[in-house]
Structure 1
Amino acid sequence: MQSHLTRQVFRAIINNEPLHFSRCRRNQLLHTISPTRVRPWAPVLGNTSRRTFFAFNFNPSNADAGEGQPATLPSEKGLQPMTDLKRSLEDKSRAPPSHTLTKAFQIFFATRVENPGVINGFQARLLSITWRHLKAQQGELDDREFQDVFSVESLEKMLFVLQEAECLPEARATILKIARYVYAELRADHGFGVDSVSRPALLAYINLLASNGCPAEARLVILNFGGRFRGAKPSPWLTVMKGFAMADDNRQLRNITREFEKYGMKFDQASHEELINLLIEQGQFKAVQTAYQCPITGAFDPSTPNKMADIIEPSISTKKNVVKQAILNSETKWAEPIFHSLPQGPVRETVGITLLWEAAHGSNASSLAEKAKTWIASDEQIQDAITIADVNSLIQYANVSRNHELAPGFVRLVEQWGLVPDQETHLLRLESYIQAGAVEQTLEILEQQIDLSLLPTENLPLCNKLIAMLCLSEQRDALFGRISSLLDPLFQENVRLEPTTVAALTRMLLYRYDWEAISELLRPRLGTYDDEGKGVVRNVITDFILDLGQKDQDVWDVYELFKLAFPQTGVDVRTRIMSSFFERKRSDLAVLVFGHMRQAEDPRRRPKPDTYARCFQGIARNSDKTNLELVHNMLKLDLEVNLTTRIQNGLMLAYAACEMPEKSMEIFRQILGSDEGPSNKTIGIFFKVCEKHHNGAQEALKMLKKVKKVGIEIDRRLYTGYIEAVAAQCEFDVATTAIDSMQAEIGVPPTSTT
């Protein structure tokens, strides 16, 4: 089966541009856009299963796609007209018509109501540009166009989507700017007076601000619309406090509690616990530490508004939750005073957290069993107080600690204490097997205890770890069907995979030579990752390209995919790829990689002096005269690269290897006349040139005398180069004399190699 991968399709991998289909030949291969120098593609898929992972990504019946072409992804819908607008503003050409832009803007948000997904930096910039353009044209829009963007319904939909979507760090500032535009528009008079913003829209805006580093701004919104939030759950004040806790702003947290009292509310134990739980759910333990210290007040007394409320402690359930999170985040020392503030001794209410505390301080399963036995002897009701959730916490601690010896013992406590394992127990056991790389035990528990259809919803992070472990195991080919069955529900539900999972899948598919599956895997996902996440996937593909055990054509096909998927890749990685093709004795492909660097729009991704030097060295190893002249001409036209001695050394070496010693001598004379001058390596290369020059023996002899005269240290490598030069010119007597006098000349005797 041929791949759908084309230049237009693969742009969407990083969402630098949306899909825009033209009339093209059905199922055009990646390989058909390869340069003519590449040999024709030879299929290598005879031993590869063609079962596809990704049946759910493409829908040929989609109206946006032609026959045999991929459907437009949800993340791409509406982007093309906005991209056209961006280009028209850049080159000052005619912009798309307003009705096209308003419809595109409306479609972008309507598509994301059910599944907001991820908004990356490029998408955020398009939205900002389009909003400002349409705002400037607002007075000229007809009713339908106005409704698509500036109606209350459309504006509120934008806020809800922006609040629910995961905004990559690169997009955050732009998204906040757009949200402020929308908020200002909602506050305008839409026939109901100014500031007639609905409570759901205000809550969405407050949450968006507070969760993205602007809690102070969110606080001002509450102050402006305070009366509209009575009965809201969770309270918008807690949302703002969550934002300040995430910013580690203790002073503002305390100020908020005073404002609670000013407006007739209270920050009591229940509010404190709700705030802590909100932060725990988001995995913000540092913020939990900050919020825990926030003072809790008693009930507000309206008869004495100036009287300070009594300060009370957090609830026992809050303390237990915080201590547990501290243990799981290796912060037991910080949690020590909190733990000791709990009721001490064999108490039913705290037996679970006490077991976890003991485990965190070195107790294994047998030690805990003995302690529990002692506690039960003093109070039989403690037996009933120990629950399966307590054992689950112990297994979770073993997994977080990556202590593979602890987990099996804690699992045995389930039977020992007469408990019934629940789904969480099975998932935690599965995680411990995954961490240990125990494939057989992992498959056994999957078959006997885990409902695969529920795994993505029950524990998506664990599902990611499972897929990655199976892909990276030595049995990956045998497990192909199992991995496929795990992926099916994920793709049906459009679940977001972690970069490490996608990297593991990509690695497996690379070594199955399934380029189509790789393109279908990466196309809708790379754009949802930040630079670090993209780098994890890119490194896997780079490793395959650098694998000298792979066939040249397979590697070139993957390089074409790499080039389209990761256009932001720096010069260092591209230079390594270029050098690997030289090592393969494929200087034609190496020079193509070099040419791609030369064509980069961003100057930071164009060849550096080191890149030129390495390119000439590779050409020298391959004795590639045609590409030598090509790259040398590129160098002459490159005004951004200074002609260093290192580059010229490479040129000398390359021209000598290509049987053009006169040209090498000419470059050597240029080095002598340069400000930098020759280096030790230049002299060694000069002797290499002398091996093939028509007057090489005399030139080598003169150079040796000059080197001695100016006091340059002559080491074994340099002296051996001189011997090789005169020997290559058949001056055997001179070479023999040089060997005999080597000890006297440079202080070291000749070796068998000499």
Structure 2
Amino acid sequence: MFGPKKRQVKEADLEPGMEEMMHLAKMQRMNARLPPPEDISQALKQFFLSTHCRVNDRAAKLVASSLEYCWAAEEQASSPRRFISSQLLIRITKILRKTRAPVTEAHLRLSSLVLQKGQSLNGAVRYRANLSHIRMLGLAGHSLSARQLVEQIEKSGFASIERVSPNEAEIDNEDAEEGTASTAQHLESYWITALDAVSRGNSERDLLETLNMISERESLRPRPQLLAHPMLAFYLRTTNQEAVQTWWKQYWDSSTELGYGDEENQRSLAFNFDSVLRWCVSHQQLEFGHQVVRQAMINNPPKPLWDAIFIWAAATGKGADEIGRMMDVMKKSNEDFSDPTEWRLPDITTINGLVEYATSKQDPYLAERFIALGQARSIEPDARTYQLQIQYRLRVNDVDGALIAYKNLQAMDLSSNEDVPTVNELIVTLCQSKRHDFDTVMNVAMDLADRRARFEPSTVTALALLHLNRDEMHDVIDLLNTHAHHYSSAERDNIRSTLLDFCLNSKTPTSRAWDAYKILGTVFDEMPRSERTAVMASFFTRERPDMAVFIFNEMRRHSREDTIPVIDTYVTSFLCSAKLRDLDSLELIHNQLKLDYNITTNTYLQNAMMIAYTACGRPRQALAFWDDIVASKEGPTYNSIHIALRACEKAPFGDLRAKQLWAKLKQMGIELDQSMWASYAAALAGNGDIDLALESVEEAEGKNEVVVDVFLLGSLYDATAGHAEKQDEVESWATGKFPDAWEGLEKIGIEVNEQSGKKLPKIDRSVTP
């Protein structure tokens, strides 16, 4: 009672509502009593009210199942009742629109469900659902399906104007206004989104067809830059200079027709301006790039374009000093502006753009020159600068330099969290470094944890391995429970795969491998059967059948169909018990098989049990399985015969069973090849009936039924390994009758077991189910 307080494991960090949806999925798998739909409806509301970022595929799958459950409950209710409001559906579409590639089948299924339900609801829900699903199809690579959906909407007339009904008063005013927009406005949004979807693909033909379809519709009058933007984005992924020039001109002219516009328009213009210049550099189209820059310089461009021009200068070979003189030119251009707010002045954003370019070229010296250029102009580094400094120092394995930059970074404003990916990269490097101690790693990790920032999967993996190698199991569980439930399936798979490799590595101590498995089973419930079976087999290899049986029993108790044992799982366990010659584990798992109503016993499985019971010293019980096989509809295979003869070899009076079996085979006209003769001869010799074994071989050899080879002699020699005088008799007979074959066996080698003193030939007599 006065001992140290036992440490409590941290609970899994789940988004609000996620636990209830996971419980529903589990109950559905188990065909158990399901929770009330009111609880699931409330869970969905909580989840989407708390979620402001993208939904991963795991969450999308749970949400889709929960929606289907609630809608099914609505249909079955005796009185009209709605568990899912229109406002919640609109919220779901807004979150789905934040999804980035890659889009999974789970995302598409959720989007499709909302789309189908939206068609029977008001215009606001329908508009949002249509727009969201068109975009999702494009991100998933189904661009033509996105276009076809727009055509279907157009034909059905669902884009028509519709007022919000009184019972849909929970919809926000902004969403209601979108729902009552004109048919042309809705269709225009759909077609522009479809064009963007097609532009993400690789088919120029489909892209031009979609553009023509928009142009042919007289009711559509989209702004030119809305068409030019996806067209330009497509051709910037090609080598088609003419198309890039054409669409850049259209985009530039339409975007600057009435000036440079607001800041958002300037940022969009600067992004595409920079993209075109980078395309020119990578495709050696420098003359076109110079034309683009000259065109921008006709009218003093806004600062974001100046920043892109400086990067272009660096990409075309200008040094830091030359770019500094260009900055002087930019400052001089401010003489045309009386309003100081319109002045173009280099700032830290300018410097960071140059440093980022140098980092992308893996040129840390140039990056330092650009930072010095800024400081010479009283432009001090900010958080982004130090973030880039960490990046390029890590690229050249200057971890100490990266740590210095990180310390400088901590003094900056980090509220934007832009530095988080780079700090994650630093943590991974520190974990892999042999020069930096544990405290250094944890100081950086704790700083990130205190900010409640995202830990990347690679970071969690590196920290988990670090803790495992220090036997800090609770820290690993806390780490994974904090972060792993927020990752996508692919990200969780990566973490699980690394921990699994650690567990399966023969160099990992058994205690740590066991800790790793317990963590995998606790945090990664979705770990499939194949991986669990591999871990089970590894503990048999480590000579810990008790741990292996524990893993098997956990699989038996699992609720997922892709996890519970199948015939292959039982076969693996039986063969592992056979290799270890562990009767206890064999009998425990055999007893589980007797109770497993999901398994239909077949020859393959019974073959494995014959092998296992023979290896564990129960050949008579093994032969009982042979009797079952013979009596079954499936019947024995050639492997079954070999395995049965191995059992006869070990069983008391097994030579009698072997003779009966052999006589039956001959009577049935079964083809008896070299390996079959070797098994039969060994079965006779194993029970001490050397004379009959040798006579049978000689007689068969005389009738040309068998060729006495190395394997047959080796089988005879191996079968008599427990009796030295019998082995001597076999050796004497073989050297006299078949000297060439015996010489071949001696070349392969005969080793003496240090423990038993038995002489064993180096041949492989193993049998498989």
> How high is the TM-score relative to the length of structure 2?
0.66
Q: Is 1:258 aligned to residue 215 of structure 2?
A: yes
In structure 1, the residue matched to 2:276 is 323
Q: Are the structure 2 counterparts of residues 332 and 253 from structure 1 closer, same or farther at C-alpha, using a change threshold of 3 Å?
A: farther
Report what 1:695 is aligned to: 688
- Return the offset for 1:585: 0.8
Q: Aligned runs of 1:107-146 on 2, under 5 Å?
A: 107-112=46-51, 114=52, 117-118=55-56, 120-136=59-75, 140=79
Tell me the SS of whatever aligns to 2:636.
coil
Aligned letter for 1:676? Y
Per-residue CA distance 1:87-115 (angstroms, 9 max, x = gap):
79x56x6x655654543443333333x56
Task: Determine if contact 1:452/1:486 at 8 Å carries over to the other structure.
Answer: no
2:447 corresponds to: 486
Deviation at 1:439, TM superposition (A): 2.4
In structure 1, the partner of 2:104 is 169
Matches of 1:680 and 1:156, distance apart in 2? 67
Once residues 653 and 84 of structure 1 are traced to their aligned partners in structure 2, the CA distance between those partners, rounded to angstroms, is 38
1:333 aligns with 2:283: yes
2:210 equivalent to 1:210:
no
**Is 1:411 matched with 2:368?**
yes
Equivalent residue runs for 1:146-225 within 5 Å: 149-150=84-85, 153-164=87-98, 169-180=104-115, 183-184=118-119, 186-187=121-122, 195=123, 197=124, 202=127, 206-207=131-132, 209-213=134-138, 215-216=146-147, 217=149, 220=153, 224=160
Provide the residue aligned with 1:463 in structure 2: 423
The answer as to whether partners of 1:579 and 1:618 remain within 8 angstroms in 2 is yes
Question: CA 1:71–1:594 in structure 2 vs 1: closer, same or farther (change >3 Å)?
Answer: closer
User: Match for residue 734 of structure 1?
Assistant: 729
TM alignment of 1:287-686, pairs within 5 A? 296=250, 317=270, 320-323=273-276, 326=279, 332-333=282-283, 339=289, 342-343=292-293, 368-369=318-319, 381=329, 392=352, 395-397=355-357, 399-400=359-360, 403=362, 406-415=363-372, 420=379, 422-423=381-382, 424-451=384-411, 454=414, 457-474=417-434, 475=436, 477-491=438-452, 495-523=453-481, 525-597=483-555, 605=563, 611-632=569-590, 639-640=599-600, 642-644=602-604, 648=607, 651=609, 654-663=612-621, 674-677=636-639
Could you tell me how far 1:508 is from its partner in structure 2? 2.2
Distance across 2 between alignment mates of 1:85 and 1:587:
32
Give the structure 2 partner of residue 79 of structure 1: 21
Bigger Cα displacement from structure 2, 690-699 vs 464-473? 690-699
Residues 303-332 of structure 1, C-alpha deviations (whole Å, 9 max, x = no match): xxxxxxxxxxxx9856642235658xxx92
In structure 2, the partner of 1:43 is none
Which residue identity does 2:160 align to in structure 1? Answer: N
Q: Provide Cα deviations, 1:602-660, integer angstroms capped at 9, x if missing partner.
A: 66555566655543342233221122234445567774564249x73x55554344233
- Matched to 1:74, the amino acid is P
| Aligned 8 A contact 2:603 2:629 in 1 | no
Instruction: Return the offset for 1:540.
Output: 1.9
Residues 514, 699 of structure 1: alpha-carbon distance in 2 compared, 3 angstrom cutoff = farther
Point out the structure with the larger helix share.
Answer: 2
* Bigger Cα Rg: 2
Is it true that 1:243 corresponds to 2:197 in the alignment? yes
Contact 1:571–1:605 under 8 Å retained in 2: yes
Which residues of structure 2 form unaligned runs of 5+? Answer: 139-144, 162-177, 256-267, 333-344, 652-681, 752-769
Question: Deviations for 1:459-501, whole angstroms, at most 9, x for unmatched residues?
Answer: 443233233223333336232432332332452xxx4443323
8 Å contact kept, 1:121–1:168: no
Please give the alpha-carbon distance, in whole angstroms, between the structure 2 residues aligned to 1:699 and 1:74. 77
**Letter in structure 2 aligned against 1:619:** S
Count of equivalent residues = 634
Relative contact order higher in (CA < 8 Å, ≥ 6 apart): 1
Conserved 8 A contact 2:611-2:622: yes
Deviations 1:581-612 (A, max 9, x none): 01211112223334444556666555566655
Q: 1:96 to 1:606 in 2, by over 3 A?
A: closer
- Judge conservation of contact 2:26–2:559 (CA < 8 Å) in 1: no
Deviation by residue 1:81-140 (Cα, 9 ceiling, x = unmatched): 85598579x56x6x655654543443333333x566546243123332233135326783
CA distance in 1, matches of 2:699, 2:647: 15
Please give the TM-score of this superposition, normalised by the length of structure 1: 0.67
What SS class does the counterpart of residue 521 from structure 1 fall into?
helix
**Identity level (%):** 18
- How far apart are the structure 1 equivalents of 2:592 and 2:709? 35
Structure 2 counterpart of 1:179, which letter? V
Residues 319 and 153 (structure 1), Cα distance of their counterparts in 2 relative to 1, 3 Å cut: closer
**Residue identity in the other structure for 1:224:** S
Cα distance in 1 for partners of 2:296, 2:246 equals 27
**Which structure 2 residues correspond to residues 263-302 of structure 1 after superposition, within 5 A?**
263-268=220-225, 271=226, 296=250
2:741: which partner in 1? 745
Asked if the contact 2:135–2:194 (Cα under 8 Å) also holds between the matched residues in 1, the reply is yes
